[in-house]
Amino acid sequence: MKFDTIAAIATALGEGGIGIIRVSGPDAITIVDKIYKGKNSLSTVDTHTIHYGHIIDSSGAIIDEVLISVFRTPKSYTMEDVVEINCHGGIMPLRRVLATVTDAGARLAEPGEFTKRAFLNGRIDLSQAEAVIDLIRSKTDLSMKAAMSQVQGSLSKQIHTIRQQLVELMAHIEVTIDYPEHDVEEVTKELVINTTEQAIDNIDKILATADQGKIIRDGISAAIIGRPNVGKSSLLNAMLKENRAIVTDIPGTTRDILEEYINVKGIPVKIIDTAGIRETEDIVEQLGVERSRAVMQDADLILFMLNVAEELTEYDITLLKELQGKQAIVILNKTDLVAVFTEDNIKQYVDNTSIISLSAKEEEGIEHLYSEIERLFIEESIKQTDFSFVTNTRHTALLKTAKAQLNEALNGVQFDVPMDMVTIDITSAWESLGEITGDTVAEGLLDQLFAQFCLGK
């Protein structure tokens, strides 16, 4: 495949010590060489070397003082010749150098185009490319590890293994369709059953990590519910103070994200804005209950807060009873004051719901809350794994489709459907799995996926 030469600012915009312009393509070195003045011509230098010099305009005037890294094909991010120009940070130097590079013959890159080239040139597959976005956007150390594992091909390897099994099976079926002797057919039937069952088994193993993967990548939403003045805002502030995991505006992304997460032992926890139910003192009790219910419905986790220094009210008791069967933690707040009830008193209203005590104001006992959240959402088994999860809902959906198609094939064999019909289902499953890695994929989808990247990546 032959591409043109592209360029973009690869670092975040804004003031910084340095900024990098990345240039990739067959003419990357020639183009930058035209506007570079240093000791050596870049066309003569070795791969993976750095050079000091200046970027000059057509009149020879100096635009910026730079360090230039040269990566020759195929050992580069895109597998093409790549030149990275380290300029002074700040929006003006970067824009001027970029304009000089494009005047010299490079085209402005689209968001994600460098990573797209790495994919199209065969350095990484689609699931790895998608993991690059996850890596950039990861909210906690745990989500970063999961993304990194996928960048390095953990998911790809598992998918390739299953696809390989299916290809061999299809080849075998082809042979028997061409030579339809009875005993050959019996053997084939058994082989189809064994192989599809095994493939389904392997898909199930990957799918089993999906729930955890989604929690680790996307996090959970939590709502702090409770009467006015029990201490909801105080707890939120205490949590934010220690463990703010901010996902801010990523420049150049199509969807600008501005969300705030709390990093609870590697789980990104987003506190649902309960502004709607904020403490208007004169709201009638009934309204409070109903609004709280509505918020509880939308949350992955309910943090139901009580004030141990005050008697329970009807609101408290009504909602406590409704926590049954939900992911919830009852928080007894204000343990620094004299308590008028205990955790044991609460147990009569909730059967299995966890109860913890803390003081939001004194910031004491908040660690109990974190441990409890971890216990509810992270399975013991994953703490020692290689962080290989399926985290992406696109991948999960395709795995489920492939599984259904294999089940269809399995049913077909068991009901003596002709082999060439069975092959159709197996082929479909093979293609669905190929969409995860990008081996079989529509061009439109690629554009859509890579458009989510930031510029310069």
DSSP letter at 277? G
Closest residue to Zn ion using C-beta atoms: 233
Residue with tokens 């393509």: 25
218 is in an annotated binding site: no
- 10: closest CA among 104, 78, 64? 78
How many angstroms separate the CA atoms of 401 and 392, rounded? Answer: 15
Q: Shortest approach of ligand GDP to residue 359 CB, angstroms?
A: 4
**Torsion angle defined by CA atoms of residues 230, 233, 239 and 245, in that order, rounded to the nearest 10 degrees:** 150
- Dig out the tokens for 62 from the structure: 């100096």
84 is in an annotated binding site: yes
The single-letter code of the amino acid at 348 is: Q
Q: Shortest approach of Zn ion to residue 359 CB, angstroms?
A: 16
270 is in an annotated binding site: no
Angle at 108 between CA 446 and CA 115, to 5 degrees: 35
Task: Decide which of ligand GDP, Zn ion, none touches 274; Cβ closer than 5 to 8 Å per partner kind.
Answer: none
Strands 259-264 and 267-271 turn out to be: antiparallel
Applying CB under 5 A, does 295 fall inside the site for Zn ion?
no
14 is in an annotated binding site: no
DSSP letter at 273? -
Helix or strand run (H / E) with residue 222: strand 220-225
CB 240 within 8 A of CB 310: no
CB atoms within 10 A of CB 237: 13
Nearer to ligand GDP, 136 or 339 (CB): 339
307 is in an annotated binding site: no
Q: Shortest approach of ligand GDP to residue 281 CB, angstroms?
A: 10
Q: Shortest approach of ligand GDP to residue 143 CB, angstroms?
A: 29
393 is in an annotated binding site: no
CB 277 within 8 A of CB 298: no
**Torsion angle defined by CA atoms of residues 241, 245, 250 and 255, in that order, rounded to the nearest 10 degrees:** -110
Length of the chain as a residue count: 457
Q: Shortest approach of ligand GDP to residue 361 CB, angstroms?
A: 3
Nearer to ligand GDP, 17 or 276 (CB): 276
Nearer to ligand GDP, 163 or 334 (CB): 334
Task: Decide which of Zn ion, ligand GDP, none touches 7; Cβ closer than 5 to 8 Å per partner kind.
Answer: none
Query: Rule CB under 6 A: which residues touch ligand GDP?
Result: 226, 228-234, 279, 333-334, 336-337, 359-362
76 is in an annotated binding site: no
Helix or strand run (H / E) with residue 285: helix 285-298
Nearer to Zn ion, 237 or 348 (CB): 237
251 is in an annotated binding site: yes
Nearer to Zn ion, 19 or 231 (CB): 231
Task: Decide which of Zn ion, ligand GDP, none touches 150; Cβ closer than 5 to 8 Å per partner kind.
Answer: none
How many angstroms separate the CA atoms of 389 and 132, rounded? Answer: 15
Applying CB under 5 A, does 233 fall inside the site for Zn ion?
yes
Task: Decide which of Zn ion, ligand GDP, none touches 230; Cβ closer than 5 to 8 Å per partner kind.
Answer: ligand GDP
Nearer to ligand GDP, 257 or 337 (CB): 337
**What's the gap between Cα 54 and its chain centre?**
39
Nearer to ligand GDP, 30 or 233 (CB): 233
Q: Which residues are annotated as a binding site for K(+)?
A: 229, 248, 250, 253
Q: Which residue ranges make up the site for Zn ion (CB under 5 A)?
A: 232-233
* Binding positions: 22, 84, 123, 229-234, 248-254, 273-276, 457
